[in-house]
Amino acid sequence: MKISRLISICAVALSATVPLSALDLPVRNVNGTDYYYYEVKPKESIYSITRKLGVSREDIVRCNPAVVDGVRPKQLLLFPVAEFALGAKPEVCPEEQPESTVMDPLPGRIVADNDNNSKEDEDVKESEDAGTSAVAVPDNAVSQDSTEIAYDEDEPKVINVGVMLPFMLDSSRMTKAAENYTEFYRGLLLAVDTIAGENRDYAINVTAYDTEGSVQKVMSLIERPEFETLDFIIAPEDSVCIERIAARADSTSARVINLFAVKNDAYLRHESVVQANIPQQMMYAKAIDGLKELYAGYTPVILTAPDIAADKAPFVSQLKTELETAGIEYKEISTPSGFTAESVADSLVAGHRYVFIPVSGSREMLARVLDPLIGLRETAGNPDDVRLFGYPEWIILRGVMEEKLHRLNTVIYSRFSADMDNYPTRRVMLRYTDWYGRSMNNTAPVYGLLGYDVMQWMFCTADSDISALFNGLQSAISVSCPSASGDCGMVNSSLDFMYFLPNGKFYHKSL
């Protein structure tokens, strides 16, 4: 059986530590560099190898990032001869170093570009001890070249991914946005590790660039030679940056993935762009189609509130228009302070079926209508004669409010839907905690899962039909070109419906 061994070699300018030549390890030349190599024996662990070779765990992982989660029998460990030989001296960093931010051997860390304003080690240590999401940037960090090497007669298929996001490494404090982007990147690396363990015929190179929230920085990054080699580019949220990246990528084979600028329409002008978010008007249309399909035979009841902002007015307006066009009767009921089940029952016909749609997705609106609707449901001849339909924001609700959504057999539409009780999701979230020492944040979407899903999707579509439906842990992606002439990019048309089932479970359906 053919076995491909992919070993990630990271050349780092550090001083020599252990004379491995004293152990008489064999030497292999890889890409013009001599390496000591050691083949892992059965039942050996990374810790037993540290004792056997006299090399620290940190040095083993630094030189062999693939073993961060442990070693396997017959796995090869490589160590640069120049660093680990007897009498080796520290390498002198060349005067010219690439300025790009690149992936550190340790998962979830980002190494700053080679300038003079990187943080001091002490500052990084303090931020980590405080439990923040600060990205570690060693003062002596230098740019690295990550190379995937296959010891097989067949070369692996290489997928090059560029992550261009404002990590804001030089800021004194990490912003919430930078924290979310860091979590996204860490989730993406987790997916790379999963893919590497299951697909030995592929090598995935990930390079992370700190755009610093600057158009000028992005302009300098896209002129670098390595930009031509990228297959996928994760673009920042800024629309000007997306335009600059897309204009450059149109002349390459790269796909620019827009995950964070929901309203951006660069995909209409640039063939390289993939808008991974279903546009708002398309989302509303699909949500309304789903509502009409799910609740055929129900009378829609729109719940208004005189003292609560109608933040869902655009959706409700489109809903009314489509209901009127389809000849479907609907009701509107005001829910002032003190709204009760009895007050709503007076406006309804016993034995009829009703689905309630609030004009606001706020907690304030839910707090006002949930108990009356539950009371109405409990007194109905058939509990399912009373249903609730709602909005993406409700995904993050926990505790009593979530329990009440289950009691009403609620359905919501959303670009993202993650079932935290689902075993594959829990497994990934636990691995994330094991790797990074902290849990993913409770956001909508969960950025760590977003990074994980997108990397899996990029891998699945690298050599196959990009328009095929992908169902991830949190994201459903089905992209197509909206132009009949095909002279534009692609846009995601998939929308999730999340069911809060009465038994406390969840069910997902994508349209």
What is the average per-residue pLDDT within 354-370? 97
More confident position, 219 or 508: 219
Give pLDDT, residue 456.
Answer: 95
- CA distances to 231, 265, 271, 473, 497 from 470, in Å: 19, 22, 21, 10, 15
Per-residue pLDDT band at 52 (split at 50, 70, 90): confident
What would the two tokens of residue 117 be?
Answer: 């304003």
> Is pLDDT of 311 > 90?
yes
DSSP letters of 250-291?
A: TTSS-EEEE-S-TT--GGGT-TTEEE-S--HHHHHHHHHHHH
Cα–Cα distance between 368 and 456 in angstroms, integer? 41
> Is pLDDT of 124 > 90?
no
Give pLDDT, residue 75.
Answer: 82
Give pLDDT, residue 119.
Answer: 37
What is the average per-residue pLDDT within 406-415? 96
CA angle 274, 278, 280 (to 5 degrees): 130
Share of the chain above pLDDT 70, in %: 81
pLDDT tens for residues 182-233?
A: 999 999 999 999 998 787 778 899 999 999 999 999 999 999 988 999 999 9
What SS3 string covers 169-216? CCCCCCCHHHHHHHHHHHHHHHHHHHHHHHCCCEEEEEEEEECCCCHH
Q: Which class is domain 281-414?
A: alpha beta
What three-state secondary structure class fits 388? strand
- Give the start-to-end residue ranges of the domains of the chain: 17-84, 281-414
- Of the CA atoms within 13 Å of residue 80, those in its CB half-sphere come to 22
Helix axes 363-379, 400-407, angle to 10 degrees: 40
For residue 387, the cross-strand partners are 355
Cα–Cα distance between 203 and 183 in angstroms, integer? 23
Give pLDDT, residue 89.
Answer: 42
What would the two tokens of residue 400 be?
Answer: 């009593």
Query: Which amino acid type is present at position 372?
Result: P
What three-state secondary structure class fits 34? strand
> Is pLDDT of 2 > 60?
no
> Contact, 4 vs 197, CB < 8 A?
no
Task: Give φ, ψ of 396 to 5 degrees.
Answer: -85, 0
**Structurally, what CATH architecture does the domain formed by 17-84 represent?**
Roll (3.10)
What three-state secondary structure class fits 290? helix
pLDDT tens for residues 427-462?
A: 999 999 999 999 999 888 999 999 999 999 999 988
What three-state secondary structure class fits 413? strand
> Contact, 404 vs 488, CB < 8 A?
no
Cα–Cα distance between 104 and 400 in angstroms, integer? 42
- CA distances to 348, 389, 410, 487 from 333, in Å: 10, 15, 19, 47
Largest CA distance in the chain: 90
What is the average per-residue pLDDT within 347-356? 93
What is the average per-residue pLDDT within 68-73? 75
> Contact, 490 vs 275, CB < 8 A?
yes
CB atoms within 10 A of CB 404: 20
Q: Average pLDDT of the chain? A: 81
pLDDT tens for residues 261-285?
A: 999 999 999 999 999 999 999 999 9
Cα–Cα distance between 79 and 27 in angstroms, integer? 9
pLDDT tens for residues 234-249?
A: 999 999 999 999 999 9
What three-state secondary structure class fits 37? strand
| Burial (0-12, 13-18, 19+ Cβ within 10 Å), 510 | middle
Share of the chain above pLDDT 90, in %: 54
Distance between start and end Cα atoms, the chain: 42
Give pLDDT, residue 154.
Answer: 59
**Range of 17-31, 65-79, 108-122, 359-373 with top mean pLDDT:** 359-373
